Amino acid sequence: MVGRAIGSRVSNCLRVENVEGDLDDHFAADKGRILIQRLEYGADDEKAGLAAKHDIPIQGKIREGTATFKAAAMLYFKFAEDKGLPATGVQPLPAPDQRPAPKGWPDWGHPTDDEILGLARIIARYARFLAPEIVQAVVQDNERQRVEWLAALARHGIDGGAYLWERSSCAFPGVRRYAGSQEIAIFRKKASSEGFKIPGALRLDDNDFPKQIWSHVFLGKKFNKQGPAGYALAHLADHKNHGNRHDSDFQVQGDTKALHGLFAAVTNSVYVPVGLIKPTDFGKRLRNLLMRRATALYGLHCNLLPSWLAIEADLDPQWALDQFDWAEPVGDCSRVGAFLTYRNSVIDAMFEG
């Protein structure tokens, strides 16, 4: 049995060497550190559908295969270190720096306007918006039940205007994203919810409810933690109170209110490749571009924002919508009826609870 395990490890090491190079050379260069980094592949990588950083062929699950090769390589490098094999490329630690500590981070520079524009052109080609007729169906169903739902929210002491402003596309009024350590702990059942009343909502969520309509449209069923490979959902406008950027992203007209309805608004989310998520999180001009695209698609059918917010214009002709090669909207209405039945049952259960 032991011999079989050793043989398996040797075989795995040989497969690594066939693609990534001699393990002795890796050990001599840096004790194998760079190779081990290439053999890292975690749960988040698997969930996002990312490719492995190494080039070793794997039949089956990338995460399990990569872990097997990593374990074999690490065992070999430990063996090499125990045997005192030379590692000539490993540099000794530098002597302690006697200079005063620097006062701040170095200035590494920032993308130019032209570079940001180039990034926006890439995002435009890959950002996936739902087809306008899907949005129209949700908004029409909302308007049909809006008065009744506003009354139900009021009975629970909740400002319905945070979810159901006129012609809102919020798919799940009464549901918002958790915020703060207490709500996260309660949601994950690591703390008791006894005596706790959710401020401004009937139900908390991590990020599943905004994805329900996408799952129904494309899979015909309830969302179950697995989205399209290599893509992640991005919200266009902030929906949480803490750290909200509405005062910098939009024209604020009148008194500000909670924006919980933007969490599950079908016009407020797009699927974007994982590698392009952060630019939309932190680039105001990119967020504005996507909001203007959403307005062009859905503005005839709904109000993307409550009345006290307005999207700012970008007068630079280079940032005009028609200067970008946009991906076609995705999905159709064939399964939207089933989605509306599902979501209405969820809302009714919340109101009765």
Report pLDDT digits (tens) over 114-165.
Answer: 999 999 999 999 999 999 999 999 999 999 999 999 999 999 999 999 999 9
Tell which wins on pLDDT, 328 or 33: 328
Size of the chain, expressed as the number of residues it contains:
353
The pLDDT of residue 276? 82
How far apart are the C-alpha atoms of 352 and 335, rounded to whole Å?
26
The predicted model gives 21-34 an average pLDDT of 84
The pLDDT of residue 38? 87
- The encoded tokens of residue 307 equal 């009345």
The predicted model gives 320-345 an average pLDDT of 96
Q: How confident is the model at residue 91 (pLDDT cuts 50, 70, 90)?
A: low
* N-terminal to C-terminal alpha carbon distance within the chain: 58
Spatial contact of 135 and 214, defined as CB atoms under 8 Å apart: no
Please state whether beta strands 231-235 and 269-273 pair in parallel, antiparallel, or not at all (unpaired): antiparallel
The pLDDT of residue 4? 66
Tell which wins on pLDDT, 157 or 93: 157
Residue extents of the structural domains in the chain: 2-82, 127-352
Half-sphere exposure of 268 (CA within 13 A, CB side): 24
- For the segment 34-49, what is each residue's pLDDT rounded down to a tens digit? 888 889 988 888 877 7
User: In Å, what is the CA distance from 191 to each residue of 171, 205, 206, 224?
Assistant: 28, 15, 16, 24
**DSSP conformational letter for 51:** P
Nearest CA-CA partner of 351 in 149, 139, 209, 141: 149
Please state whether beta strands 250-252 and 269-273 pair in parallel, antiparallel, or not at all (unpaired): unpaired
Helices within the chain (DSSP H only)? 2-20, 23-30, 33-38, 43-48, 62-82, 113-126, 132-155, 181-187, 212-219, 246-249, 277-282, 284-298, 336-352
Which segment of 120-129, 196-205, 277-286, 295-304 scores lowest on mean pLDDT? 277-286
On the question of pLDDT at 267 being above 70, the answer is yes
Spatial contact of 45 and 29, defined as CB atoms under 8 Å apart: no
How far apart are the C-alpha atoms of 63 and 43, rounded to whole Å?
8
On the question of pLDDT at 1 being above 50, the answer is no
Tell which wins on pLDDT, 107 or 236: 236
The pLDDT of residue 2? 46
How far apart are the C-alpha atoms of 38 and 55, rounded to whole Å?
9
Tell which wins on pLDDT, 32 or 213: 213
Nearest CA-CA partner of 266 in 298, 224, 231: 298
On the question of pLDDT at 3 being above 60, the answer is no
- For the segment 46-76, what is each residue's pLDDT rounded down to a tens digit? 877 788 888 898 888 888 989 999 998 898 8
On the question of pLDDT at 209 being above 60, the answer is yes
The whole model's pTM is what? 0.71
Question: What does pLDDT average to over the chain?
Answer: 89
The predicted model gives 72-86 an average pLDDT of 81
14: Cβ contacts below 8 Å, ≥ 6 apart: none
